[in-house]
Amino acid sequence: MRYMATISYDGSNYMGFQIQHDMPTIELELEKAIKRMLGTDIKITASGRTDKGVHALNQIIHFDLDKKINPDNLKRGINTYLPNDIYIKNVTEVSDDFHARFSAKSKEYRYYININEYDPLTYKYMPFISNLDYELMNEGMKLFVGTHDFKGFASASIDKRKDTIKTIFKANMNIYDDKLEFIFVGTSFLKYQVRRMMGLIIEIGRKKETKEKISEVFEKKDPKISHKVAPSEGLYLYNVYY
Amino acid sequence: MRYMATISYDGSNYMGFQIQHDMPTIELELEKAIKRMLGTDIKITASGRTDKGVHALNQIIHFDLDKKINPDNLKRGINTYLPNDIYIKNVTEVSDDFHARFSAKSKEYRYYININEYDPLTYKYMPFISNLDYELMNEGMKLFVGTHDFKGFASASIDKRKDTIKTIFKANMNIYDDKLEFIFVGTSFLKYQVRRMMGLIIEIGRKKETKEKISEVFEKKDPKISHKVAPSEGLYLYNVYY
């Protein structure tokens, strides 16, 4: 039996999603909680990793069990053993050909910036950045939409054989009284891609760079071209679409 | 020179405002930061204590310095030495007869309940409680308004000589899509008073108690009458009025 689960988590206290030895990771906590509930080692597969400090509202995982278990009982049981900052929102039985990663058609990431005043109650959930030119940021965001080679926005340590041509369907910016919201929907995203895109958008908002730099990064396809990586705490894996 | 400062903090990691030996408290962190900036021991006075886990958006303190220091420099300097979860929003010079506690005319506390779904990103900021009858809660809230002897809503360890007659000017409940907001404005509040009032309102919302219990607690003036204390993480010292 294959099960799909929707997970939300506060990434603040974790080294990211993927298991790294005994470091605190979301994957390790999920596998530990499933083992404590079912008594057996179960390997989970996620739609993708999230980095250290990055949050998720609807991360998707799948896992296989030998026997049929009521999905609501699975949800309740695993949640009992999870720490307070990781939560299973939903479990459903899916067909064996469903794959959390390979079946994903697109993903949505959101990024939040507190523009009001430093806030000790939200600093782990959106960085405070002031004196930004929203109009320039908004113009920059539009340049991300479409099919591009995003190699220049990837981690410098990216595997050279990796396909870096990706499509972004939506790159919107919404301005609220107290925060900025950035919405990215695309086929898939490379490691650090959203934080590097956001890092450049923030530099454009600060007038340290112009939107022409975005075109330059697309053309040069070199992750080593210096530009900032936005803080992890503002980033949320918001949805995975199948 | 007397200075007034407006402080916000995330109470999650503290044993409350007031210094207790070497335990982590907001007061200790503030005095340590002021000492690191100015090199001397400075005693601060707050509008009142907040309990373990309780947050503040506008806690007010005052302190005296031998010499005049630009308030903006004080703000910047002290913030440099404060942990990320405590922040000085504003410093102003005040006259010597201003007293953070004795000059306060009224205080505003707010309480938040997440009514949507358990959320691992906000559980430290509002407890998740479902299946509440909002109409009953709203009717109960109205009974708090006015001048009453709140002894029955105080901590059981309250000093018997303490004046427990207080006036509440405002006790409102607002219903949002994802949360409930409770606003209490009153002359001053006893230890645990807001959490015990909220504890009873939650029991009324759960239909475990009726609003008549509120009148009973007022009449019997006995803090030992069993009723629940609402979780600290939903409570915010929202404002102090002078």
Tens-digit pLDDT profile for residues A10-57: 999 999 999 998 899 999 999 999 999 999 999 999 999 999 999 999
Looking at residue B118, its pLDDT comes to: 97
Q: How confident is the model at residue A174 (pLDDT cuts 50, 70, 90)?
A: very high
CA B162 – CA A29 distance, rounded (Å): 49
Looking at residue A134, its pLDDT comes to: 98
Give B212's DSSP letter: H
Of the listed ranges A64-73, B36-45, B156-165, B227-236, the least confidently predicted one is: B156-165
Query: CB A121 to CB B55 under 8 A?
Result: yes
Q: Is the pLDDT of residue B90 over 90?
A: yes
Q: In angstroms, what CA-CA distances link A241 with A5, A191, B19, B120?
A: 13, 19, 50, 22
ipTM over 0.90: yes
Q: How confident is the model at residue B162 (pLDDT cuts 50, 70, 90)?
A: confident
Task: Kindly give the pairing relationship between strand A55-64 and strand A235-241.
Answer: parallel
Looking at residue B21, its pLDDT comes to: 86
Q: How high is the mean pLDDT of chain A?
A: 96
Residue that has been written with the tokens 């910016």 in this structure: A173
The share of chain A scoring above pLDDT 70, in percent, equals: 100
Element (DSSP H or E) covering residue B63:
strand B55-64
Task: Give the residue from chain A lying closest to B90, CA to CA.
Answer: A117
Determine the distance in angstroms separating the CA of A226 from the nearest CA of chain B, rounded to an integer: 28
Nearest-by-Cβ selection for A120 from B10, B120, B121: B10
- The alpha-carbon radius of gyration of chain B (Å, integer) is 19
B163 is catalytic: no
Q: Is the pLDDT of residue A226 over 80?
A: no
Nearest-by-Cβ selection for A8 from B10, B57, B120: B120
Task: Give the residue from chain A lying closest to B55, CA to CA.
Answer: A121
* Average confidence (pLDDT) over B79-95: 98
B95 CB-contact burial (10 Å; exposed 0-12 / middle 13-18 / buried 19+) = exposed
* Average confidence (pLDDT) over A7-12: 98
Looking at residue A45, its pLDDT comes to: 98
Q: What is the pLDDT of residues A19-30, one digit of tens each?
A: 998 899 999 999
Query: CB B84 to CB A9 under 8 A?
Result: no
Give the rounded distance of the alpha carbon of B36 from its chain centre.
Answer: 27
Q: Is the pLDDT of residue B160 over 90?
A: no
> SS3 for A186?
strand
Q: How confident is the model at residue A155 (pLDDT cuts 50, 70, 90)?
A: confident
Nearest-by-Cβ selection for B89 from A87, A117, A125: A117
Helix axes B26-38, B71-81, angle to 10 degrees: 120
Q: How confident is the model at residue A139 (pLDDT cuts 50, 70, 90)?
A: very high
Q: Is the pLDDT of residue A224 over 90?
A: no
Q: What is the pLDDT of residues B131-140, one digit of tens each?
A: 999 999 999 9
Widest pairwise Cα distance in chain B: 58
Please give the torsion angle defined by the CA atoms of residues B21, B23, B27 and B33, in that order, rounded to the nearest 10 degrees: 100
Q: Is the pLDDT of residue B226 over 90?
A: no
Looking at residue B225, its pLDDT comes to: 81
> SS3 for A108?
strand
Looking at residue B172, its pLDDT comes to: 98
Are the beta carbons of B153 and B193 closer than 8 angstroms? yes
Q: Is the pLDDT of residue B189 over 90?
A: yes
Looking at residue B121, its pLDDT comes to: 98
Helix axes A134-142, A193-205, angle to 10 degrees: 140
Are the beta carbons of B86 and A120 closer than 8 angstroms? yes
Are the beta carbons of B148 and B166 closer than 8 angstroms? yes
* Average confidence (pLDDT) over B84-106: 98
Looking at residue A107, its pLDDT comes to: 98
Task: Give the residue from chain B lying closest to A121, CA to CA.
Answer: B10
Reference B193, options B163, B207, B204; nearest CA is B163
Give B131's DSSP letter: S
* Average confidence (pLDDT) over A202-219: 96
CA A187 – CA A29 distance, rounded (Å): 28
* Average confidence (pLDDT) over A64-81: 97
Q: How confident is the model at residue B85 (pLDDT cuts 50, 70, 90)?
A: very high
The share of chain B scoring above pLDDT 70, in percent, equals: 100
Listed in order, strand segments (DSSP E) in A19-176 are 45-46, 55-64, 86-94, 106-114, 146-149, 165-175
Looking at residue B58, its pLDDT comes to: 98
Q: Which residues of A touch B (CB under 8 A)?
A: 8-10, 55, 57, 79, 84-87, 89, 117-121, 123, 125
Are the beta carbons of A149 and A219 closer than 8 angstroms? no
Looking at residue A109, its pLDDT comes to: 98
Q: What is the pLDDT of residues A121-134, one digit of tens each?
A: 999 999 999 999 99
* Average confidence (pLDDT) over B192-215: 96
Give A87's DSSP letter: E
Tell me which of A10, A22, A51, A66 is the catalytic residue: A51
CA B174 – CA A76 distance, rounded (Å): 30
* Average confidence (pLDDT) over A224-233: 87
What is the number of CB-based contacts under 8 A between chain A and chain B? 42
Q: How confident is the model at residue A88 (pLDDT cuts 50, 70, 90)?
A: very high
CB atoms within 10 A of CB B110: 20
Q: How confident is the model at residue B50 (pLDDT cuts 50, 70, 90)?
A: very high
Task: Give the residue from chain A lying closest to B117, CA to CA.
Answer: A89
Buried b / exposed e over B62-94, threshold 16 CB at 10 Å, is bbeeeeebebeebbebbbeebbebbbbbebeeb
Element (DSSP H or E) covering residue B142:
helix B134-142
Mutate to test the interface with A, among B30, B118, B121 (most CBs of A within 10 A): B121
* Average confidence (pLDDT) over B40-67: 96
Tell me which of B51, B72, B85, B149 is the catalytic residue: B51
Determine the distance in angstroms separating the CA of A18 from the nearest CA of chain B, rounded to an integer: 19
Contacts of B90 (CB under 8 A, 6+ apart): B5, B6, B75
What the block records as the tokens of A41 is 């080692």
Give the rounded distance of the alpha carbon of B76 from its chain centre.
Answer: 25
Looking at residue B223, its pLDDT comes to: 81
The share of chain A scoring above pLDDT 90, in percent, equals: 92
Q: How confident is the model at residue B207 (pLDDT cuts 50, 70, 90)?
A: very high
Query: CB A121 to CB B84 under 8 A?
Result: no
How far the first Cα of chain A sits from its last, in Å, is 19
Give the rounded distance of the alpha carbon of B119 from its chain centre.
Answer: 23
Looking at residue A238, its pLDDT comes to: 98
